[in-house]
Structure 1
């Protein structure tokens, strides 16, 4: 089904006003976007969106938007039909970039993906996770102490970005001397992933993100060389000494995996932490409930924060076999967008989906990828990090940070927070 797509006066009035391929849609206020998704969910079948000509349009191929919870969940769990290769983002990675940097694990399928994922999964033993939880608790306490002492004006660099970066670096065994440079490269690599800007800011610098990833991979290649010579009890050593089907992991595959862990492991969690702090501030009754019995309610709070904010807005898939879903028969070669931000507000699954409710049960959100072989490997770590940092902020009895309004960045891939200003007082209210 194809409808006439347009964003009219920056307002979405009907399904025909919705165009997910137009950057102007992603500049709309978030409540307008959510209303647009709701209108798309009411249609009989997924809508085809075709990027138009010119720099004002999002580059990429035509795609059908899967916006219902059931459809997104099914596509996520049917990789033999909805493939991740050649890429899950838009535009797809260029062939030269894939040849130079290798494929990310999120863009792999089948045996190749399963083998690499298995290597990593084996490292997440109960002993390692217990040690990681203890380490995360210590890190969260230290970061909040430093944030309060310095009266930091922005939650993002003082805690939200630092905690997941430190956790990932500790797990991987990255020395402290590397970490500041890696953090800088992560920021540079993800700086221009928003929708096209207006004026001079819309001019992209070709390869700037790839150049940052290349510099980061040079650092990781140096560390990998050291670990091959002197292995340690860390994830980098496990990867460089591992093999897939009797072959050692190539430098390109190692580099692609390191980049995924560092960028994805930091970006998604930092945004969830920021949205969570902001949501708890804007909903004092939910904040009070969580503080009244933190251990009882934190699990539900984390799930509701992830559902309500949905840090990853969408992923793309390529259809490789004929399949009927959501009222339409998909054919090989077609592209679909799995719109998690819509699926997590589906009225058919969630009662009063726009309400933030930490007691919501059940809460089958798709914030970690909808299940299937690409379910987020770091989901458990992210939950531990959110639990530890909110525990430190909400349960300590001294001066604590209070968030202002977050500065959100227009993007069609992730629900990104640019900054979250802080003030400080004796109570988190």
Structure 2
């Protein structure tokens, strides 16, 4: 029988989504926060209803993102030093970084690279046609987001393979709690530190170059984005690139893989999409993001006693905002377990809930997904998954490790 403590278990997150949905529906029906004990450490409250998640996300002064928003345990100081990006900061530090970055990381800048995104999508599909049946995740979903991020930042192509290796190491070791992945905690910490160090040093070298010779890339824009007399420091630039390379890469990659799974499992929805791609593709992207919810949750820590929807949380307690459950909330979404590309409105939390931490890269992710799906469905309308996906089983992302495909 599924119980609340399963939410802190890697075994639970490796189960099929339908089984996990059973527990989340039970918790939503309870209509009150549920405490989840966690073996070997302090537990947390699970916020599973749409209004609970939104209420916490909109109140960062009480529901703090520090010391971390992406783990049930607090990271060791060496890891925190490198990985302490905006998603694990509160104001005023978060507001300052967000102001600087948002002036440069804009929809207008994303639109400027539209030709690059389209060219990469066409190249990836060219290679898919040449290769034939293959692993969709490895050969289609993975190359798009990280190459675009590196291109935007001005990272030389000669460094792409090393960036991929570093981000893969961080993602592999960060999918579960750092204290529950195995006995070699010291070894994991070393690998994470080395991987983050590489990404930071890459940005430090590129930053020094761009300070002397600015270019039309995102690093130049960030270093010269003078907001109230401030620009990004070298450490802040490294943290921002690490966030983009890890979070931006993983979210889009998993969403694209889930799209193929969903359209294979729902041929009626695929036929509807193909009947009028211009009309239905935007809605299809939003429904994939709702249904798959690539980022499953984020954590918050109470700064003081606070009552939210008749429950009083105490200072220091942890809560987890389950976006996947909010995206299935029966009070907000009609037939929430149905995959429907015409769903409107669709106020999903695929990029986090409303508030200061709403995903800064949402416009880029939507653009990449739309461009790639248009290229695939136009040129290979018969593309489909040939087996069940090999899921990653991590507790913070709804990830797909491998997905055989054919056309």
Write the distance in 2 (CA, Å) between the matches of 1:151 and 1:284: 21
Residue 28 (structure 2) aligns with = 41
Counterpart of 2:220?
Answer: 237
User: Equivalent residue for 1:8?
Assistant: none
Higher relative contact order (CA 8 A, sep 6+): 2
User: 1:361 corresponds to which residue?
Assistant: 344
Contact 1:152–1:158 (8 Å) recurs in 2: no
Unmatched runs of 5 consecutive residues or more in structure 2? none
What residue number does 1:144 align with? 125
Q: Secondary structure at the match of 1:109?
A: coil
8 Å contact from structure 2 (residues 4, 34) kept in 1: no
Deviations 1:65-100 (A, max 9, x none): 10001110111111111111110022222223324x
Which structure carries more helix by proportion?
2
Gaps of at least 5 residues in structure 1 are 1-10, 54-59, 425-429
Is 1:25 aligned to residue 12 of structure 2? yes
Change (3 A) 1:44 1:151: closer
Cα separation, 2, equivalents of 1:399 and 1:64:
44
Residues 396 and 355 of structure 1: is their aligned pair in 2 closer, same or farther, counting only changes over 3 Å?
same
Which residue number in structure 1 is paired with residue 76 of structure 2? Answer: 94
Deviation of 1:157 (Å): 2.1
2:49 to 47, 68, 72: 68
Give the Cα separation in 2 of the matches to 1:311 and 1:123.
25
Q: Specify which of 295, 316, 320 is matched with residue 303 of structure 2.
A: 320
The within-5 A match list for 1:195-234 is: 195=176, 205-207=187-189, 208-234=191-217
Aligned counterparts of 2:292 and 2:284: Cα–Cα separation in 1:
12
| Contact 1:196–1:202 (Cα < 8 Å) also in 2 | no
Encode CA deviations 1:127-173: one digit per residue, 9 max, x unaligned: 42322223212211111111111225111221211111121112111
- 1:99-133 deviations in whole A, cap 9, x for unaligned? 4x262110111121122112221124554232222
Seen in structure 2, the aligned counterparts of structure 1 residues 137 and 102 have a Cα distance that, compared at 3 Å, is closer
Q: Which residue of 2 aligns with 1:81?
A: 62
285, 288, 297: which one pairs with 2:280?
A: 297
- Tell me the distance in 1 between the aligned counterparts of 2:25 and 2:111: 41
Query: What RMSD over aligned residues (CA atoms) do the two structures have, in Å?
Result: 2.2
CA offset at residue 258 of structure 1? 1.0
Aligned partner (choices 259, 263, 267) of residue 284 of structure 1: 267
* Cα distance in structure 2, aligned partners of 1:353 and 1:400: 26
What is the distance in 2 between the residues matched to 1:44 and 1:315? Answer: 20
Counterpart selection for 1:263 from 231, 241, 246: 246
Q: Report if aligned partners of 1:173, 1:236 keep a CA contact under 8 Å in 2.
A: yes
TM, length-normalised to structure 2 = 0.93
**Cα deviation per residue 1:233-257 (whole Å; 9 max; x = unaligned)?**
1111122334565355332222111
Query: What are the within-5 Å matches in structure 2 for residues 335-354 of structure 1?
Result: 335-354=318-337
Match of 2:137 among 156, 162, 167: 156
- When residues 19 and 406 of structure 1 are mapped into structure 2, their CA distance, relative to the original with a 3 A threshold, is closer
Partner of 1:311: 294
Rounded to whole Å, the distance in 2 between the matches of 1:209 and 1:96 is 9
Structure 1 length-normalised TM: 0.88
CA contact (8 A) 1:190 1:209 kept: no
Match of 2:95 in 1: 114
The corresponding residue for 1:5 is none
Decide which of 140, 144, 152 is 1:171's aligned counterpart.
152
CA positional deviation for 1:331: 2.3
